[in-house]
């Protein structure tokens, strides 16, 4: 089967830093200076190999900034600047590079919030990429060691809470299609999380999986059209 058109283009994209491209791209003419700077850093970062935590966070902030600019445009598309699939693949890689042994960095948290920002702009994510992003994030959060609240671990507990919230925000954004939740995407999302609940031998992993499922379902059930459906269209 031929890949979708957007994916067929990926092999033709190169991301070597180029001042000419930054100057001459027609899509840049409507950007503010800070948004052009974000575009330039994304272009540079995509051409790199290894990166420091500082530069990873700067890249993620730049993608959020550019996403905000695209969202504000009447008919804006991220593909006018960078293929959205390429940005998502890079963010997924950053998430997978994070350790499951310790949580000291805010990279995975910012990466998931960045996916939330990308989900708000065109073109929509392909289902396969949504599932890859969900699986990558869940695999780097649920197995984290148990963090017990204490005075000497206050900062770690705070980062953990913020990271869990970012996961919830990302899952909720990805189960949406337009303004409505997608039951098909929700089902696939639950299929990713359920093995952590049913097969893990660690109580804290089971609790995290159950909490994630519960909060996602509560979000889905908040939509009025689903409440009406559940009650047989209001009787």
Find out whether 120 and 68 touch, Cβ atoms under 8 Å.
no
Q: What is the mean pLDDT of each run of 10 residues along the chain (235 residues)?
A: 42 42 61 95 93 97 97 94 96 97 93 98 96 98 82 70 96 92 94 97 96 96 65 45
CA 218 to chain centroid, in Å, comes to 20
Report the alpha-carbon distance of residue 61 to residue 63 in Å, rounded.
Answer: 5
The pLDDT value recorded for residue 156 is: 72
The pLDDT value recorded for residue 174 is: 97
Q: Which helix (H) or strand (E) holds 180?
A: strand 180-181
The pLDDT value recorded for residue 190 is: 97
DSSP lists the bridge partners of residue 77 as: 122
CA triplet 210, 216, 64: central angle to 5 degrees?
120
The pLDDT value recorded for residue 26 is: 53
The pLDDT value recorded for residue 30 is: 85
Report the alpha-carbon distance of residue 109 to residue 164 in Å, rounded.
Answer: 8
The pLDDT value recorded for residue 148 is: 67
Q: Which helix (H) or strand (E) holds 207?
A: helix 203-220
Find out whether 103 and 144 touch, Cβ atoms under 8 Å.
yes
């Amino acid at each position: 089967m031929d890949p979708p058109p957007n994916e067929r283009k990926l092999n033709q994209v190169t991301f070597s830093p180029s001042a000419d491209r930054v100057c001459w791209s027609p899509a840049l003419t409507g950007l503010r200076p800070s948004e052009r700077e974000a575009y330039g850093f994304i272009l540079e970062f995509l051409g790199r190999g290894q990166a420091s935590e500082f530069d990873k966070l700067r890249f993620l902030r730049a993608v959020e900034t550019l996403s905000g600019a695209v969202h504000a445009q009447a008919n804006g598309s991220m593909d006018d600047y960078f293929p959205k699939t390429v940005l998502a693949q890079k963010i997924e890689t950053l998430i997978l590079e994070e350790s499951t042994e310790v949580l000291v960095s805010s990279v995975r948290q910012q990466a998931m919030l960045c996916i939330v920002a990308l989900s708000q702009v065109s073109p929509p994510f392909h289902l396969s990429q949504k599932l890859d992003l969900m699986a990558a994030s869940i695999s780097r959060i649920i197995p984290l060691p148990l963090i017990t609240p204490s005075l000497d671990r206050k900062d770690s507990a705070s980062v953990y809470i913020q990271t869990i919230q970012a996961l919830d925000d990302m899952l909720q954004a990805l189960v949406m299609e337009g303004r409505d939740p997608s039951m098909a995407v929700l089902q696939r999302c639950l299929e990713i999380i359920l093995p952590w609940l049913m097969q893990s031998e660690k109580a804290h992993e089971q609790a995290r999986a159950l909490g994630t499922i519960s909060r996602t379902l509560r979000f889905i059930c908040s939509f009025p059209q689903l409440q009406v459906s559940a009650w047989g269209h209001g009787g």
